[in-house]
Amino acid sequence: IYGADANNTFAIKSMMVQYSWLLVAISCMITMLMFSYQIRLFERAVNPYFYHITAAMWNIFITMTTVGYGDIFAYTHAGRTIAIFCAFWGVFICSLFIEALKNILTFNFSEKKAFNLLQRLQKKELMRK
């Protein structure tokens, strides 16, 4: 009716507008578990820090948030490749987080009208004093 194509992109945009925090949280958790398991598979034989999955999760979280302390890092080429993909995917997840914040903090039409009314009333009150 409105000229919008009902395709996958529209569905993802609709989900991002309606369930932004849920989408970011679920994608972050799935990504952390997936990358942690992968890097642990390749690194645990050569790197004792990756023996436990929690250390791998710490490494992936630090890589995804682009902090990169350097306390735990990958030795193998496969592990480093996973870390590179994880860093790029982390930038995407961080941008989703920022978009979710924007969706929550943006006024809809009625909220914007109410806010403008409050501002006008506050200015009138200041002018009376």
Q: Which of 127, 11, 31 is nearest to 88 (CA)?
A: 31
pLDDT of residue 1: 59
Of residues 70 and 112, more confidently modeled: 112
On whether the CB atoms of residues 62 and 45 are closer than 8 A, the answer is no
Structure tokens at 67: 């902090």
- Is residue 26 packed enough to be buried (19+ CB in 10 Å), middle (13-18) or exposed (0-12)? exposed
Q: How far apart are CA 72 and CA 45, in angstroms?
A: 15
Average of per-residue pLDDT values in the chain: 87
pLDDT tens per residue across span 73-114: 889 999 999 999 999 999 999 888 888 888 888 888 888 888
pLDDT at 116 over 80: yes
Cβ–Cβ under 8 Å, residues 67 and 86: no
* Higher pLDDT pick, 68 / 42: 42
With a threshold of 0.75, does the pTM exceed it? no
